[in-house]
């Protein structure tokens, strides 16, 4: 609205779905054609192919490399990865997601996916569930019957506004279902039971960081005098590259660092159900991969991991099943 000559965008796509990114790209192409200078700080690089003229790479507060677009786009995938940058080509990831989506349907989210088949009761299930917000014009939608088993990493995908956050808030008891049931270990569960059973890393982690230091944040609600708990806290801080920030105030950290603190709390909580809403939206390649590996560790410990994500690299690389809330077979309305 202000007709700027210079437009600076700080991770404009971090919470956007693929279609919204394509629209953003179109808008930026139009703005560029009017002669505006545009500077974009990004981790997700693929959508910039063909519209960015120069790439400037920062490392530790300094410029480490600078390229004309043609030079940058000619770099090999190995070289891009070695610089810690995310992929320039999403096609292989999209193929894998399409495969996982097609394999995952209501029937296939069954005990056979648990590997040894030993656990035949799902940890969490939905039955005839309708989610949303009450009131006139309030959003509501039905959710297919789903079963989530121990050891799975389930990706939950779908367009902006299709109800992913509303679903995970319902599954963790933060809001009540409009109708239908959520079951824990085969028994109908009240919102209170769900809040006790699961841990949610929120889409906006600013809502869930309460303590004065990163260390205290991870120890919240735990016995801080227990040496086993303290040792585990140090281990989690190390695993998430947070040890050097242990005494910092969480609000003094960058977006991606805050995200990792909230994930650290999830790793500490000891609950069987871990739900993460866009856990890698502000993360570079290295930290995205680190989060993916931690999710895998949680699943290997027998936890059920549900991850809401638009991050195609995370979904393709780490999810064992993908539910797209907008997949044709899930269109229930």
Ligand X SMILES: Nc1ncnc2c1ncn2[C@@H]1O[C@H](COP(=O)(O)OP(=O)(O)OP(=O)(O)O)[C@@H](O)[C@H]1O
List contacts with Mg ion (CB under 5 A).
164-165, 203
118 binds, among Mg ion, ligand X, none (CB under 5 to 8 A by kind): none
110 binds ligand X per the rule CB under 6 A? no
309 binds ligand X per the rule CB under 6 A? no
CA distance 190 to 288: 34
Segment near ligand X (CB under 6 A); pick from 84-92, 160-168, 187-195, 219-227: 160-168
Segment near ligand X (CB under 6 A); pick from 31-39, 44-52, 132-140, 289-297: 132-140
22 binds ligand X per the rule CB under 6 A? no
> 30: part of which helix (H) or strand (E)?
helix 18-33
Of 258, 131, 132, the residue nearest 201 (C-alpha): 258
19 binds ligand X per the rule CB under 6 A? no
165 binds ligand X per the rule CB under 6 A? yes
4 or 161: CB nearest ligand X: 161
Out of 51, 162, 174, 230, the only residue in the binding site for ligand X (CB under 6 A) is 162
Least distance from ligand X to the Cβ atom of residue 92, Å: 23
CA distance 293 to 2: 44
Least distance from ligand X to the Cβ atom of residue 221, Å: 26
125 binds, among Mg ion, ligand X, none (CB under 5 to 8 A by kind): none
Structure token pair of residue 19:
């279609």
268 or 288: CB nearest ligand X: 288
Out of 103, 110, 160, 297, the only residue in the binding site for ligand X (CB under 6 A) is 160
Out of 161, 186, 188, 270, the only residue in the binding site for ligand X (CB under 6 A) is 161
Structure token pair of residue 272:
């069987």
The DSSP secondary structure of 72-104, one letter per residue, reads HHTS-HHHHHHTTPPPS--HHHHHHHHHHHHH-
Q: How many CA atoms lie within 13 A of 35 on its CB side?
A: 2
Contact assessment for residue 280 and residue 308, using Cβ atoms and an 8 Å cutoff: no
In the region spanning residues 186 to 245, those forming contacts with ligand X, defined by CB under 6 A, are 203
164 binds ligand X per the rule CB under 6 A? yes
Could you tell me what percentage of the chain is helix, strand and coil, using 3-state DSSP and rounding each to the nearest 5? 40, 20, 40
166 binds, among ligand X, Mg ion, none (CB under 5 to 8 A by kind): ligand X
Contact assessment for residue 101 and residue 315, using Cβ atoms and an 8 Å cutoff: no
286 binds ligand X per the rule CB under 6 A? no
Helix (H, G, I), strand (E, B) or coil at 57: strand
46 or 308: CB nearest ligand X: 308
In the region spanning residues 72 to 101, those forming contacts with ligand X, defined by CB under 6 A, are none
| CA distance to 120, 182, 294, per residue, from 149 (Å) | 8, 14, 18
Helix intervals (H) in 211-284 = 214-219, 227-239, 255-268
44 binds ligand X per the rule CB under 6 A? no
Structure token pair of residue 42:
């990004």
Out of 150, 166, 309, 324, the only residue in the binding site for ligand X (CB under 6 A) is 166
Binding-site ranges for ligand X (CB under 6 A): 15, 17, 133, 138-139, 158, 160-166, 203
């Amino acid at each position: 609205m202000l007709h700027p000559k210079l437009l600076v965008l700080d991770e404009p796509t971090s919470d956007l779905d693929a279609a919204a990114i394509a629209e953003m790209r179109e808008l930026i192409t139009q703005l560029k054609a009017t002669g505006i200078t545009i500077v974009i700080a990004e981790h997700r690089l693929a959508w910039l192919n063909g519209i960015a003229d120069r790439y400037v790479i920062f490392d530790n507060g300094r410029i480490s490399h600078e390229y004309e677009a043609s030079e940058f786009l000619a770099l090999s995938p190995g070289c891009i990865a070695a610089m810690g940058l995310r992929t320039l080509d999403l096609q292989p990831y999209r193929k894998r997601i399409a495969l996982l989506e097609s394999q995952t349907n209501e029937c296939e989210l069954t005990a056979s996916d648990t590997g040894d088949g030993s656990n035949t009761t799902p940890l969490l299930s939905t039955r005839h569930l309708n989610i949303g917000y009450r009131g006139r014009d309030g959003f509501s939608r039905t959710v297919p019957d789903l079963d989530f088993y121990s050891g799975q990493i389930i990706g939950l995908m779908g367009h902006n506004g299709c109800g992913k956050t509303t679903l995970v808030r319902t599954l963790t008891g933060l809001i009540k279902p409009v109708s239908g049931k959520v079951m824990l270990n085969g028994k109908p569960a009240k919102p209170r039971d769900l809040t006790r059973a699961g841990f949610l890393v929120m889409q906006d982690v600013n809502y869930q960081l309460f303590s004065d230091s990163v260390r205290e944040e991870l120890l919240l609600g735990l016995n801080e005098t227990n040496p086993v708990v303290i040792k585990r806290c140090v281990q989690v801080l190390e695993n998430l590259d947070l040890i050097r920030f242990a005494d910092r105030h969480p609000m003094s950290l960058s977006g991606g660092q805050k995200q990792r603190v909230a994930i650290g709390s999830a790793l500490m909580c000891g609950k069987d159900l871990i739900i993460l809403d866009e856990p890698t939206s502000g993360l570079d390649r290295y930290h995205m991969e680190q989060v993916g590996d931690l999710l895998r560790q949680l699943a290997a410990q027998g936890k059920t991991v549900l991850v809401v994500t638009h991050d195609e690299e995370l979904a393709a690389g780490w999810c064992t099943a993908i539910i797209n809330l907008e997949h044709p077979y899930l269109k229930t309305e």
